[in-house]
Amino acid sequence: MASEAAKELAAKQKAERKAAKLAKKTSNDPKDWGFVRQLRETYKITKEHDKELYKWLGIGFGVVFVLVSCTAFFLNPWWVYPIFGLFLGITADLYVLMWRAKKAMYNRFDGQPGAAEVAFTQLNKKKWAYEPAISWNKQMDVLHRVVGPAGIVLVGEGSPARLRPMLASEVRKHEQVAYGVPVTSVIMGDGDGCVPLAQLAKFIKKLPKKVDKLQLSEAKSRLKALDAMRPKVPVPRGPMPSMKGMARAVRGR
């Protein structure tokens, strides 16, 4: 009986492992993908939105390979350096692919409602937290909030003329509950005084650090109370694309 039970348990565990492996293989979540699939999917998506991808991959590989291979004329053994150049060229192409993938993603979603969230996903989650669509108007102009080392950053998405009074009002509300935590406002866009989508994450990261973890924790608690008084935004959340799979494919797991 014990032997039969052990066999049944082993068979059950084997079936479970097989099912888990199949589920992971067919999963659409980048977290479940292997390195090769992540790289393949990243290349496929980028190619659809970047017509110059082949050119940049060729330049990245060619320049590195030629430079490394040329050293073969001066060093021994000469045959090592072309092989070394091959591997470095492939590595260079991985970095080129990451660069072009990020650029293609911004181009793909620029101008769409909720596109600011694309930039927010590029922030370090250990340092920054964001809350999309904390305020809006009938014209679908939306305000988002990012909280991190620079304090509170309010990001407007829509018409600059309509967003400015909205931002001014929200800045006052946040300053009343933030108690000394600085509140910065910015409008995402291509006009004067605006920050383009592709530069938004970099803009937020470069803001000077003004608060510590304790201040941030206290501010987040007060902001929850402020948000509890708001109705939920009645507009779509936006594209919310993820770069996790792309970044992981380039870095490796």
Can you give the residue ranges of every domain in the chain? 33-109, 116-229
Query: Does residue 1 surpass a pLDDT of 70?
Result: no
pLDDT tens profile 6-54: 767 777 777 777 777 776 666 666 666 677 777 888 888 788 878 888 8
Residues contacting residue 181 through CB under 8 Å, at least 6 positions apart: 151, 152, 210, 211, 215, 216, 219
Contact between residue 38 and residue 246 where contact means Cβ atoms under 8 Å apart: yes
Query: Averaged over 107-132, what is the pLDDT?
Result: 86
Q: What is the pLDDT of residue 249?
A: 47
pLDDT of 237 above 80: no
* Cα–Cα distance, 111 to 96 (Å, whole number): 25
Q: pLDDT category, 125, cuts 50, 70, 90?
A: confident
Percent over 70 (pLDDT), the chain: 84
Q: What is the pLDDT of residues 182-202, one digit of tens each?
A: 999 999 988 888 999 989 999
What's the pLDDT at 206? 93
Dist. CA 20–CA 24, nearest whole Å: 6
Write down the pLDDT at residue 29.
Answer: 61
Q: Where are the alpha helices (DSSP H) in 110-209?
A: 116-120, 160-178, 197-206
CA–CA dist 144, 128 (Å, integer): 13
- pLDDT confidence bin for 236, thresholds 50/70/90: very low
- What whole-number distance in Å separates Cα of residue 204 and Cα of residue 123? 8
What is the DSSP-derived secondary structure letter of residue 242? -
Where does the chain have alpha helices with state H?
Answer: 2-26, 35-49, 53-70, 80-109, 116-120, 160-178, 197-206, 213-228, 244-251
Mean of pLDDT over the chain? 81
pLDDT of residue 247: 46
